[in-house]
Structure 1
Amino acid sequence: MTDRKKVFLYYNSSQELETKIQDLRNLGKKYEFQLVQDAAEADIIASIGGDGTFLQAIRKTGFREDCLYVGINAGRLGFYTDFNLSNLEGIELGMKSNIVEVHRYPTLDVTVDGKQHFQCINECSIRSNIIKTFAIDVYIDGLHFETFRGDGMVVSTPTGSTAYNKSLRGAIVDPRLKAIQLTEIASLNNNEYRTLGSPLLLSGDRELVLKIIQDGNDHPIIGADNEALSIRHCHEVQVKISEKQIKTLKLKDNSFIHKVKRSFL
């Protein structure tokens, strides 16, 4: 599968899961993989769980570019998890054959108020913290595009287009496209506020800036993938495609199109 041999396992421990993971450890030893306790030392970071665990593994280990991320599902196959913990034969086949390949996923660079910086692989969301709409001025490459009022907005990557974005009726985007998608959450459209009213797909070289209008509801929740960040008094959120990409190990016969069909059709 790879010449890299140092592996860090990321998972939420449970008695049931530990028994299965021990079998995985034994399989790794068979092929001379070395388990490490510190993710910083790893060549391969394997998340065991679902897509949510995979997202957390990337976030908690710092979006590393110098290692491979591998998703191993403890249940059904997901969008980021090509391997299944209940199918050790399939994992072993991947270790000793050429049925796997490295995919590179784009990430988002997000800057809040010019000082707080973080990355996302699925999406960055900004939502009202109370049961009240709030307003956002939307700028694209410095041009004022619209003034939004509603419950919030989501900026997603192509790989994240099947997640929160899809539940908002956003488009599913082929990950081969370098793009970002802006999707509204319950926008108001009246004589005072007028928005596009549909998802907007932007080229990956665009810069998106969301400026929160300070009208008493200026404590939005900012989400980075599946994690809410403790950022208050937010005024401006800048989002663009990062130069950093995440390398993942995938099965050749389990493409994005296969996953979309299996998950939604």
Structure 2
Amino acid sequence: MKYAIFNNEDVSSRVVAKNLALEMRKHGLTVDNEEPDIVVSVGGDGTLLGAFQHYVNQIDHVRFVGLHTGHLGFYTDWLSTELDQLVDSLSHDNGQKVSYPLLELTVIQTTGEKSHYLALNEAVIKQPLGTLVADIYLGGEVFERFRGDGIAVATPTGSTAYNKANGGAVLHPALQAIQMSEIASINNRVFRTLGSPLIVPRDQEIVMRPQSNNFLVMYDQGEIASDHILELRFRVSEKCVHFARYRHVDFWRRVQNAFINDIE
């Protein structure tokens, strides 16, 4: 079993990562940042998104563990004060895991060239200036012409992020689905959209055909140049992200911890 440590550049995270590497070596664990079996992310949820994208080409066999240098997050089960317990769990790893759905984004250029991306959280299409105009297709048919600031398409685990701020539902990751929410859509007597978030199952696609090229395409922490984009396609990926399940916190407990105080 080989282990990688992926940390952000925060001073506290670098210190924790260094101490974690020392403890792992003391216990005879092999640190291999090139081709690991388990990736330990040290930082916050943003750091884990970075770790996911860094190892995205190896996700079929890589499992992730999140160690938070602040408070527990949606993807982080361990605190920096628990290095001994974490290293002990790594030492007794038996392959246990929990898997979550991913978003697959396909970008089709006007030349016909296709590029594929995976997102753990979401993909966001935004118009920084003016109004984004785009046709939305569902089931292979035109569903609506969107006008507004943009759209967000989220995985179930990403449904608690931008999607929730847009009024979207929080989806349990056991549901193999993606969710599209509108960002400040224009709805009046002339222009209409559904105005509600849409939840699409894994055997269907959301297709977006923008009417201009002055927009931003972002996925997790990445950005795609919007020049000459003909079409964007969103679907539930055939691939999943895997987390090492030592004491993996229940999803609803994560939601409660993040948004709701303890009930007295």
The TM-score with structure 2 as length reference comes to: 0.89
Structure 2 counterpart of 1:183: 181
Does the 8 Å contact 1:107/1:119 carry over to 2?
yes
Structure 2 counterpart of 1:119: 118
Q: Give the letter aligned to residue 154 of structure 1.
A: A
Structure 1 position 254 matched with structure 2 position 249? yes
Does the 8 Å contact 2:8/2:14 carry over to 1?
no
Shift of the alpha carbon at 1:248?
Answer: 0.9
For 2:206 and 2:147, how far apart are their aligned partners in 1? 17
Structure 2 counterpart of 1:17: 13
Distance 1:181 1:54, change over 3 A: same
| 1:97-130 deviations in Å (ceiling 9; x for gaps) | 6899411111111111151221111111100032
User: Unaligned 5+ residue runs, structure 2?
Assistant: none
User: Unaligned 5+ residue runs, structure 1?
Assistant: none
Q: Give the letter aligned to residue 152 of structure 1.
A: G
Query: Map of 1:108-147 to 2, 5 A cutoff?
Result: 108-113=103-108, 115-130=114-129, 132-147=130-145
For 1:199 and 1:254, how far apart are their aligned partners in 2? 27
For 1:72 and 1:100, how far apart are their aligned partners in 2? 18
| 1:50-92 deviations in Å (ceiling 9; x for gaps) | 1111011111222421111111111111111111122224314
Q: Give the letter aligned to residue 191 of structure 1.
A: R
For 2:248 and 2:48, how far apart are their aligned partners in 1? 20
Structure 2 counterpart of 1:54: 48
Does the 8 Å contact 2:176/2:201 carry over to 1?
yes
For 1:12 and 1:69, how far apart are their aligned partners in 2? 15
Query: Map of 1:220-231 to 2, 5 A cutoff?
Result: 220-231=215-226
Shift of the alpha carbon at 1:94?
Answer: 2.7
Distance 1:193 1:8, change over 3 A: same
Structure 1 counterpart of 2:78: 83
For 1:238 and 1:151, how far apart are their aligned partners in 2? 19
26-35 vs 177-186, which moves further = 26-35
Shift of the alpha carbon at 1:19?
Answer: 2.9
For 1:225 and 1:14, how far apart are their aligned partners in 2? 20
For 2:10 and 2:151, how far apart are their aligned partners in 1? 36
219-228 vs 87-96, which moves further = 87-96
Tell me the matched-pair count.
255
The TM-score with structure 1 as length reference comes to: 0.89
Q: Give the letter aligned to residue 71 of structure 2.
A: R
For 2:164 and 2:41, how far apart are their aligned partners in 1? 24
Aligned-residue Cα RMSD (Å) equals 2.0
SS at match of 2:67: strand
For 2:175 and 2:250, how far apart are their aligned partners in 1? 14
Percent of aligned pairs sharing the same letter: 35
Shift of the alpha carbon at 1:21?
Answer: 2.4
